Structure 1
């Protein structure tokens, strides 16, 4: 098996009597986006700070590209870039000067620093504003510059800690496009966010962190199927077909006025196939069909905020 880009086992961290991380396990495959979801205080930022060698864990292990963050912090740092919750740009410098400063701090050398700065200014569409003071930059421009500074040394693993907080919808979508482009080029991203739409748009996998523990993990679609409320809605051409289908499908709810039948479902292909096979066997024609699954808002509210929760839910809906 390929070594994961990020591998966390039994990670623990406390501050006095407050347990922030309580045995976190997490594996992130190279070239993918994994989102950490959770309420304030769940341990998302603490996890990122440990992985980026800014904090030392109390227990467990964590490695980035095979380098243990405690035993080999220099090896881990060589692979990573971090964009924190708050912009790290220097407001007294221009955009170009910020990038040049970071390039020199990364020991790129004068010539390479200028080349890399020009590349990043173009990539992040900041060339026209390169020599303007940061006071003239919008929030979205500052955030793009912040991410560009993270990429000066071309890290293979990037930690994005709530990268679009406070941005307007257009700037947020621009950041999403940038992240997608990075991942398409092979970069691994660990994203912490409270914006559920962001996780749904970007993440290949999502880990839900609550009370210092991972309480659920899976693809966005898998997590949505964990919570109740999913259903298949079928519309028929006439009342007799609706009545026949209602008798055929247990637990369904008929709307006679709309000639529609709502069938509880987990949203999976198997459930859909079962419904269609039964209708087909009964020679009942369907005018229209739609699948409705809970969204990540439903997942978030269902799985977080339960202080006494001690079990982890996998994507098959069982507790362990």
Structure 2
């Protein structure tokens, strides 16, 4: 099935910036699927989202929805795309119901249709009990749910969710993740950004990792997990990391990483002899993991471990 959203060779440089915020980003998102968008601070995620929401003009490259340019789609049917930003996007002084009524008007909904959509979004976000409460008095989780409800008012086909679970309690987080999955299962195309790798692993069908304005990896989540299928990670007492790496080197390509050593085993490799060699060298294995690569580990490998502002 063709992708709904296609971003091709998108590049953007802010005035006066030494480096581009985006440097040839290409990606696609399809209906009925969640695309997890990952990247450190300053990777270019916000700039990409700003393009999708129409806040930034395209300097280079193209964005299309069902083969039609984003600019044309925004002229003809701007509500096909919705963005739930990381910041709270509602009026604190208004009640939940008043916010929905206000934003329904902004989404060109009127009369019975506006009331119908407001009621549906209240129900979807489970906010009925709080309809008369001022938004400023809501908890963090309820505010996030109101953000989502407002974004869903015009029944968008492409929904961009930017860090939608920041500052929420575990119950609200679980609810929001389930809601996102339900939206995708209902046919929407979802782009979901988060710094929480477990969220992406829980709901994403495909993952795009960006850094320094470039796409570092774009693949189905299952494929990314499989990249570490022959990878052995070992932490051991009684051996320094350098010595541990030397012991494991005959079994594949070994490198020191974190508090242990990672070995990409040979094609016919078996982790058991490698672990036995550690014991024979006087080490006691404290932790070992073999097989599926975690998304967090892959992310750190690709983007390095340097802190970002």
Q: Are 1:293 and 2:296 an aligned pair? A: no
Q: In structure 2, the residue corresponding to 1:26 is in which secondary structure?
A: strand
Q: Which residue of 2 aligns with 1:3?
A: 2
1:228 positional shift: 8.2
Q: Does the 8 Å CA contact 1:93/1:134 hold for their aligned counterparts?
A: yes
1:30 positional shift: 1.6
Q: Are 1:101 and 2:102 an aligned pair? A: yes
Q: 1:115 and 1:83, CA in 2 relative to 1: closer, same or farther beyond 3 A?
A: same
Q: Which residue of 2 aligns with 1:251?
A: 251
Q: Which residue of 2 aligns with 1:41?
A: 42
Q: Does the 8 Å CA contact 1:52/1:82 hold for their aligned counterparts?
A: yes
Alignment of 1:1-320 (within 5 A): 2-15=1-14, 16=16, 17-75=18-76, 77-226=78-227, 230-231=231-232, 251=251, 292-305=291-304
1:51 positional shift: 1.5
The separation in 2 between residues aligned to 1:228 and 1:184, in whole angstroms, is 29
Q: Does the 8 Å CA contact 1:21/1:43 hold for their aligned counterparts?
A: yes
Q: How many residues align?
A: 263
The separation in 2 between residues aligned to 1:56 and 1:188, in whole angstroms, is 22
The separation in 2 between residues aligned to 1:206 and 1:265, in whole angstroms, is 25
Q: Does the 8 Å CA contact 2:227/2:292 hold for their aligned counterparts?
A: no
The separation in 2 between residues aligned to 1:179 and 1:72, in whole angstroms, is 24
5+ residue gaps, structure 2, are 234-249, 253-262, 271-288
Q: In structure 2, the residue corresponding to 1:293 is in which secondary structure?
A: coil
Q: Does the 8 Å CA contact 2:231/2:265 hold for their aligned counterparts?
A: yes
Q: 1:306 and 1:68, CA in 2 relative to 1: closer, same or farther beyond 3 A?
A: farther
* Higher mean displacement: 61-70 or 141-150: 61-70
Q: Does the 8 Å CA contact 1:52/1:77 hold for their aligned counterparts?
A: no
Q: Which residue of 2 aligns with 1:317?
A: none
Q: Does the 8 Å CA contact 1:224/1:294 hold for their aligned counterparts?
A: yes
Q: 1:67 and 1:76, CA in 2 relative to 1: closer, same or farther beyond 3 A?
A: farther
RMSD in angstroms over aligned alpha carbons? Answer: 2.9
1:93 positional shift: 0.5
Q: In structure 2, the residue corresponding to 1:180 is in which secondary structure?
A: helix
1:19 positional shift: 0.6
Q: Does the 8 Å CA contact 2:207/2:220 hold for their aligned counterparts?
A: yes
1:301 positional shift: 0.8
Q: In structure 1, the residue corresponding to 2:71 is in which secondary structure?
A: coil
5+ residue gaps, structure 1, are 233-249, 253-262, 276-289, 308-320
The separation in 2 between residues aligned to 1:306 and 1:11, in whole angstroms, is 26
1:174 positional shift: 0.8
Q: Does the 8 Å CA contact 1:52/1:69 hold for their aligned counterparts?
A: no
The separation in 2 between residues aligned to 1:229 and 1:140, in whole angstroms, is 40
Q: Does the 8 Å CA contact 2:210/2:216 hold for their aligned counterparts?
A: yes
Q: Which residue of 2 aligns with 1:255?
A: none
Q: Does the 8 Å CA contact 1:157/1:189 hold for their aligned counterparts?
A: yes
Q: In structure 1, the residue corresponding to 2:20 is in which secondary structure?
A: strand
For residues 243-287 of structure 1, what are the alpha-carbon distances to aligned partners after superposition, in whole Å with 9 as ceiling and x for unaligned?
A: xxxxxxx939xxxxxxxxxx9669xxxx89x97xxxxxxxxxxxx
Per the normalisation by structure 1, the TM-score is 0.75
